[in-house]
Amino acid sequence: MSYQGTVNRIKQYPIGKRKLKTVTADHLQAFIDFLSYGGTNPDGTTSKPMSKGYMLLFSAVLQNSFRFAVFPKKLITFNPMQYVKLRGRKQETDIFSDSEEDSSSIPTITHEQFQKLEEFLKAKDNPALLPVQIAYYTGLRIGEVCGLTWQDINLEEQYLTVRRSMRYNGTRHTTEVGTTKRSKVRTVDFCDTLVAILQAARTEQRKNRFRYGELYHLNYYKEVKEKGRTYYEVYSLQRTKEVPEDYKEISFVCLRADGAYEAPSTVGIMCRAAKKKVKGLEDFHFHTLRHTYTSNLLSGGAKPKDGQELLGHSDVSTTMNIYAHSTREAKRTSARLLDKVVGGE
């Protein structure tokens, strides 16, 4: 969710309709608690608790807004958000339950479930298939997958370079490519299975150029400078269309059949459809593929530091936390390490 998207969400709540000078710290605390714990909306619908990441985003937007209202705007004399605390909900545990499941586990999918997901997307001949496959075998984020170009991929040596991420800018109403989440370039090695998938995809794209002829699309980016910032807007044009001088062609990996780039939003739509239609994927979302990759990587014997670098995590603890909460089998494997210690292996 973008900052503008967060602002729009806040406006939908009662607090967004209050006059600025009437908003108190109590109002803001009640609103933040509502987001954190969930509850009933004014229209009677139920609001689920928000994740920590979303809570931090809402808090940051409110903090900056009220700070700006104090200075330089001087609309109010103090910032009521300075007294508001993020109170995360505690995990409720039924101490008399017979269930052995840990409800705090981070969702992952088995390889069989991934194959069902592939079958679902293949049956629909949907372009979200390739982004899903790439994410499963590399752990890339959705924007990073959609931002990949063929120049980023080395099929012979089996690695790809993550340089950019694609996202929709809600404020500017444009699809853009920009830096990755950590603004760093990283290299990710991949397996033979993904080599075959990518080779087949490239062959199919070449065939589609002939099938669609003049109706085939080419993709471009345009550099725009606004208010001291640089944006790289993304566009698709049919081959017969006149290309503006400031457009530069870019060869994205993930394309629709007509050559137009596949955007994160449309991939997300298909993931939500799979969640509803495919049995066993009720908790699935695109980021589940990244968690699954992390779990598979470390349970397969990869070093945590290597996993951190492949995934682009800010620190190794993030990588290990996902692994620690991912699967029952991962925990069993870790526990069996003690057998080796006791047995002197």
Q: Which of 190, 183, 120 is nearest to 158 (CA)?
A: 190
Range of the domain at 142: 128-266
Question: Could you tell me if residue 91 is inside a domain?
Answer: no
Sign of CA dihedral 226, 232, 238, 243: positive
Token pair belonging to 132: 């899903």
- pLDDT of amino acid 262: 98
**164 and 231 both lie in a single domain:** yes
**134, 253 Cβ separation under 8 angstroms:** yes
**156 and 257 both lie in a single domain:** yes
**21 and 64 both lie in a single domain:** yes
Sign of CA dihedral 330, 336, 341, 345: negative
**132 and 251 both lie in a single domain:** yes
**257 and 315 both lie in a single domain:** no
**190 and 317 both lie in a single domain:** no
**262 and 315 both lie in a single domain:** no
* pLDDT per residue as tens, the chain (345 positions): 567 778 888 888 899 999 999 999 999 999 999 988 888 887 788 888 887 778 888 998 999 999 999 999 999 999 999 999 887 665 555 556 555 554 445 678 899 999 999 999 999 999 999 999 999 999 999 999 999 999 999 999 999 999 999 999 988 999 999 988 777 888 999 999 999 999 999 999 999 999 999 999 999 999 999 989 999 999 999 999 999 999 999 999 999 999 999 999 999 999 999 999 999 999 899 989 988 888 887 766 665 555 555 565 455 555 455 455 545 555 555 556 666 666 655
- Angle, helices 52-70/3-11, rounded to nearest 10 degrees: 80
- pLDDT of amino acid 133: 98
Token pair belonging to 125: 């001949």
Sign of CA dihedral 246, 252, 256, 262: negative
Question: Could you tell me if residue 117 is inside a domain?
Answer: no
For residue 94, the tally of other CB atoms under 10 A from its CB is 8
SS3 assignment, position 66: helix
Q: Which residue has the tokens 């503006």?
A: 244
Question: Could you tell me if residue 214 is inside a domain?
Answer: yes
**256 and 307 both lie in a single domain:** no
The CB-side HSE value for 168 (13 A sphere, CA atoms) comes to: 13
Backbone dihedral angles phi then psi of residue 67, each to the nearest 5 degrees: -65, -40
Count the domains in the chain: 3
- pLDDT of amino acid 104: 47
48, 83, 118: which is the final residue of a domain? 83
Token pair belonging to 156: 């012979």
**186 and 297 both lie in a single domain:** no
Whole-structure pTM value? 0.66
- pLDDT of amino acid 159: 94
Question: Could you tell me if residue 39 is inside a domain?
Answer: yes
- pLDDT of amino acid 226: 92
DSSP per residue over 140-155, as a string?
Answer: --HHHHHT-BGGGEET
**179 and 262 both lie in a single domain:** yes
Token pair belonging to 286: 């695109």
- pLDDT tens digits, one per residue of 29-65: 999 999 888 888 877 888 888 877 788 889 989 999 9
Interacting residues of 12 by C-beta distance below 8 A, sequence separation 6+: none
Q: 288: part of which helix (H) or strand (E)?
A: helix 286-299
**159 and 235 both lie in a single domain:** yes
**183 and 233 both lie in a single domain:** yes
Interacting residues of 25 by C-beta distance below 8 A, sequence separation 6+: 80, 81, 82, 83, 84
- Could you tell me the CA-to-CA distances from 83 to 45, 139, 174, 253, 337 in Å, in that order? 29, 39, 36, 48, 47
- pLDDT of amino acid 55: 86
Q: Which residue has the tokens 């370079």?
A: 161
- pLDDT of amino acid 103: 45
- Angle, helices 286-299/264-277, rounded to nearest 10 degrees: 80
Rounded Cα distance, 165 and 32, in Å: 30
- pLDDT of amino acid 48: 85
